[in-house]
Every structure is written in C-alpha cells, then in structure tokens.
Structure 1
C-alpha cells in the first residue's frame, strides 16, 4: 500500500513543484515581458516555447502520446504589433499566464504531501525537548497525549494528500495544459501541409538527384560498352569490305568476328535496358520476378507473398529493385544465414519487408563506408521517395536487420 502511494504521489509532487518554480520565473519576468515583449520578438517567441514545454511535460506525466506542438511564433520586426496579434500561437500561449494563479495551492499540496510525514515523526519524537515549539496539524504540542493523537492524524492526512490529492491536482493541471495550450485545427492543418510540402520537396530533390545519377550511369554504360562495340563492329565490317576481293577467307573471319561483336553489343544493350525496367516484370509480373530474385539468391530465402492486386509499373519496378538491392547487400555484407521476404497489399499501399539474421549495423549513407556499405541503401531510399513511398531501416548491432517499404498504389 505504501509503495503504491509513493509511486503515485512522488511523480505528482515533483510535477507540481516544477510547475511552481516555472510559475515563479514567469511571474518575475512578467513585468519586463509586458514592457518589452512587443519590442523584442524573442520574448514572445520564448512564451510559445514555454507553452510547448508545458504541453510536452503534461503529456509525459499523463503517459499519453506527445501531441502536436504549437507552431513557432511568426517572424516579425521589433515593434510589429500587427503581426504579433495575428500570431495564433502567441495568443494561445498567453494562457501560460494563468500558471501563477494556481502556484501557491499547488505548492501547498506538494509540501504537505512530501513534508507531512517526516515532520510528524520528528515532532512526535522531539516535542519534549522544547514544549510548545513543535506543531502537529498546525497546533503546538505540549504533551504526549497531543503528540500521540495529532501525530498519527498528520501522518494520515499527509499520506492522503500524497496518494490522492496530489496526483489528482497534478492530473488536472496536466490535462488543463494539454487542452488550453493546444493548437487550433487550422494551425494543425497548416502544420501538416507545411510538413507535407517539406517531405515532397526533399523527395523531389532526391528523385531529381537519383534520376540524374541514373542517366549518367546509363550514358556511361552505353558509351563505354555498347558504343565501343558498335564502333568496333563498324570497323571490322569496313575492313572486311576492303579485303573481300583480295582475301575472301580473311574477310569471312572478320565478318564472323563482327557477328560476335554484334551479339555482344546486343547483350550489353539488354543489360542496360534491364536496369531501367526489367523485362521479367513484363513477362512474369511482380510476384514472379521477386520469386526469381529469391531463387537466385545464394542464401536460403523464405518468401511470403500476399494478394498484390493491381500494381502500377513504377511501383513494380521500385519494389523489384528494392528486393534486388537488399538481397545483394545481405549477400555481400551481412554474414546472414537466412533471409525472410514478405510482400503484400495493405489497402492503397504495397508493403514490403526484408529481414536477415546477420550482424546488423547497416546505415543509410550518401557514400559507401570503408567496407563498401551504405550507398546502396541511399539509392534505394531515393528510388522509394521518388514515387512518394516510405522506407524504414532497423539494424541494431548484432542484428537482425529489417528493411520495411510502403509504396502507394493509388
């Protein structure tokens, strides 16, 4: 019973004491804020931060999920009163000024909860050293009868405050802070839109970078591979044409070499095209293509396919390359012994999860580390973000590593 009272009352008393200290600071700073707040933008911005701090502490005390904070104060020039009073966050944060009105009752409850029992025990034991100088329940103690009567009563009242009154008052304060300092619906909508714009801007930049890198890779592959083969092919055919009349056998050999070069150029061109949109997707669909990837993996792969429904081509390609890159990374770097691949449709999204039992420690980096890890995951992230998807990597040291991807199919 006592443990339960302490577990409830201790955090409540601490919460109330911190609220009292903040209220004292706020009360002390109030005159200066009233005089200079409209001149110094940082003062009003600080009030908004205080409101968000109160909401954070209240949610943490109540054990509820963190609510969206108030948006930062609007930027304004010193003395710009018009912008100040248009600022919804500032107007909402003015409710913090109610804190000094309740700081004394809250402190009184916290002090009674924390000090009541030790004070009662000390007064019961030491009153005889200075009769009349020790008090219990607000009364001076002059006899053992008063000490043994008022002492237990004070202990009971203090425990009641600690276990009941303090937690109830702290919960009430926390709920009031969450309610009074909450942003309006229009602010929440504006904040969501701003966050969405920021996410789209980042994903667009990543998509542009990824697209540029992909174009440079294709150009390099065509220039260094296919183009060189075609140039060599043209030269061999030209030489064969010149030697046809004088040395038919040499010309025939050159034509045979040219045919081999043409086949090699075609194979390299197919390889380049395969990296743009794998033909196996058109032939066997996403499920068949992913099954083929898992079958070719040198590690044992447990593939679980759900109902995929109708998946757009761009999403199919992104999912295929995510699986291919993940299996390549696992084979090269993870020292895993088993891989689990799961793919299914979840409402309007295609869900994909690749898990391995390797050493973990994978990170998404723009450049490869000393072991050659990281850049592939960064490219995978860009490919997913380019179609407004979401990728999450969980890879603690020692494993396991899980890559979860959600791709919109709408």
Structure 2
C-alpha cells in the first residue's frame, strides 16, 4: 500500500513543485515582458516555447500521446504590435500567465505531501525539547498523548494528501494545461498547409534539379554515343557511294561497317530510351519488370509481390528505378549475401521495401563518397519526391540496410 502511495504521489508532487518553480520564474519575468516584450520578438516567441514545453510535460505526466504544439510565432519586426496581436499562437500562450495564480495552493499541497510524514515523526520525537512550539495538526504539543494522537492523525492525513490529493491536483493541472494551451483547429490546419507548401516547394525544386540532370544525361548520352555513331555512319555511306564505281569491293566493306554501326547506334539509342521509360514496364507491367531485375541480380533475391492493382505510369517508373538502383548499389557496395524485395499495394499507396544483409553505413548525399556511394540514393530520393512520395533509409553500421518507399497511386 505504501509503495502504491509513493508511486502515485511522488511524481505528482514533483510535477507540482516544478510547475511552481516555472511559475515563479514567469512571475518575475512578467514586468520586463510587459515593458520590452512588444519590442523584442524573441520574448514573445519564448512565451510560445514555454507553452509548448508545458503541454509536453503535461502530456508526459498524464501518459497520453504527445500533444500538438502551438505553431511558431509569426515573423515580425521589433515594435510591430499589429502582427503581434494577429498571432494566434502568442494570444493562446498568454494563458500561461494563469500559472502564478495557482502556484501557492499547489505548492502547499506538494510540500505537505512530501514533508508531512517526516515533519510528523520529527515533531513526535522532539516535542520535549520545546513543549508547545512543536505543532501537529495545527495544535501545539504539550504531552505525549497529544504527540502520539495528533502525530498519527497528521501522518494519515499526509499519506492521504500524498496518495490521492496531490495526484488529483496534478492531473487537474495537466489537463487544464492541455486544454487551455491547445492550438485551435484553424491554427493546426494553417500550420499543416504551411508545412505542406514547404514540402511541395522542396520536392518541386528537387524534381526540377533531377529533371535537369536527367535531360543533361540524356543529351550527353545522345551526343557522345548515338550522335557520334550516326555521324560516322553518314561518313561511311558517303565514302562508299564515291567508291561504288571505282572499287565496289571496298565500298561493300564500308557498307557492311555502316550496317554494324547502325545496329550499334540502335542499341545505344534503345539504352537511352530504356532509362527514360523502360519498355519492359509496358510489356510485362511493374511486377514482371521487377521480377526481371531480381532475376538479373547476381545476388539471391527473395521477391514478394502482392496485389498491385492499377498503378500510374509515373509511379511504375519510379518504383522500377528504385529497385534497379537499390540492387545496383547493393551489388557494388554492400558486400551483402542476400536481398529481400517487398512490393505491394496498401490502399491508395504503393509500398516498396528493399533490404540487404550487408555492411550498412549507407547515406544519402548529393556527392559520392570515396567509395562511390551516396549519389544514387540522392537521385532515388529526388525521383520519389517528384511524384509526392516518401522515402526512408535505415542503414546502421554493420547492417542491415533497408530502403522503404511509399508512392501515392491516387
């Protein structure tokens, strides 16, 4: 029973004492805040941070999921009162000023809960040193009878306060904090939309960069490969045309070379086109294309493909390239012995996970490291974000490495 009382009352009393200390600090800061707060944007932002801190502590004490924080204060210049009083987060955080109102009653309860029993025992043992000046239950002690009866009564009352009153007050305080300092539905929606706009801005910038890099790569491949082959082909045909009458045998050999060059140019052109939208996706669908990738991988691949339904072409291409790049990275860098690929439809989203048992340590970076790792993952991330998807990499040192991708299909 005593253990239960201590486990209930100890955290409650500690919570109330810390609230008292914060309230005292806040009370001391109020005069300066009233004078300078409108001039110093950081002071009002600090009040919002205090409100969020109180909500976090209240949720943690109650054992409930972490509450939604108040959005940050609106950016403003010093002395900009108009923006200050349009700031809903600041106006909601002003309710923190109610803390000093309840700090004294809550402190009394917390101190009595903590010190009631020790004070009773000391008074019962030491009243003889100064009769009448040691009090128990508010009454001066002049005899052993009063010391024992009043002392036991005070111990019982202290345990009741510790086990039931202090927890009830602490829970009431925490619930009031969660309720009074909660952001409004409008604030949450505005904050959500602002975050969404920021995410879309970043993903759009990444998509533009990725698209530009892809165009440059295609142009480079066409210029250095296919175009060079076609120029060489045209030159050989021209020379063969000139030699046709004088040296038919040499002209025929040049035409044979030109035919080989044409075949090579077609092969390189198909390779470039395959990087834009793999033909195998149109021929065999996403499941068949991923199965082909797994079959070509030099490592054993455990492939699990669920029901995919109708998947948009852009999502199919993104998922295909994620699997292709992941298997390439694993083969080159991971020293893995086995790969697991999972692909399935989850509602309106396509879920993809590629896991290997390699050495781990993979990181997403714009530039490759000394071992040539990182940039491929960065390209995958851009490709996923470009269609509003989500990618997460887990790769602790020593492995395993898992790439999880969620792509919207709606």
* TM bracket (short chain): over 0.9
Aligned: 1:150 with 2:150: yes
Shift of residue 156 of structure 1? 3.0
Distance 2:201 2:66 in 1: 26
* CA deviations over 1:152-190 (Å, ceiling 9, x no partner): 433333332222222221111111111111111111111
Aligned: 1:25 with 2:16: no
How does 1:312-351 map onto structure 2 within 5 Å? 312-351=312-351
Shift of residue 71 of structure 1? 2.1
1:44 is aligned to 44
TM-score normalised by L of structure 2: 0.94
Distance 2:289 2:298 in 1: 16
Distance 1:156 1:303 in 2: 67
How does 1:252-263 map onto structure 2 within 5 Å? 252-263=252-263
Shift of residue 45 of structure 1? 2.7
Distance 2:369 2:154 in 1: 66
Distance 1:296 1:40 in 2: 63
Distance 1:216 1:274 in 2: 16
Shift of residue 279 of structure 1? 0.5
Distance 2:401 2:3 in 1: 41
Deviates most, 209-218 or 130-139: 130-139
Distance 1:340 1:132 in 2: 81
1:181 is aligned to 181
2:374 is aligned to 374
Distance 2:306 2:372 in 1: 33
Distance 2:408 2:34 in 1: 51
1:395 is aligned to 395
Distance 2:3 2:361 in 1: 41
Shift of residue 243 of structure 1? 2.6
Aligned: 1:237 with 2:240: no
Shift of residue 41 of structure 1? 3.3
Aligned: 1:408 with 2:408: yes
Unpaired runs of 5+ in structure 2? none
* CA deviations over 1:24-66 (Å, ceiling 9, x no partner): 1111222232333334433333222222221122122222222
2:35 is aligned to 35
2:212 is aligned to 212
Distance 1:363 1:7 in 2: 44
Deviates most, 319-328 or 298-307: 298-307
The alignment's C-alpha RMSD in Å is 1.9
CA gap of 1:232–1:89, structure 2 versus 1, over 3 A, is: same
2:137 is aligned to 137
Deviates most, 152-161 or 109-118: 152-161
Deviates most, 161-170 or 40-49: 40-49
Partner SS for 2:76: coil
Partner SS for 1:353: strand
2:160 is aligned to 160
1:291 is aligned to 291
CA gap of 1:155–1:399, structure 2 versus 1, over 3 A, is: farther
CA gap of 1:55–1:288, structure 2 versus 1, over 3 A, is: same
Deviates most, 285-294 or 122-131: 122-131
2:279 is aligned to 279
* CA deviations over 1:329-353 (Å, ceiling 9, x no partner): 2222222222221111111111111
Distance 1:339 1:129 in 2: 80
1:53 is aligned to 53
Shift of residue 369 of structure 1? 2.0
Distance 1:299 1:109 in 2: 67
Deviates most, 249-258 or 374-383: 249-258
Deviates most, 2-11 or 13-22: 2-11
1:117 is aligned to 117
Distance 2:117 2:359 in 1: 54
Distance 2:398 2:12 in 1: 40
Distance 1:338 1:147 in 2: 77
Shift of residue 231 of structure 1? 1.8
* CA deviations over 1:182-239 (Å, ceiling 9, x no partner): 1111111111110110000000000001111111111111111111211222222222
Distance 2:275 2:313 in 1: 14
Distance 2:408 2:22 in 1: 46
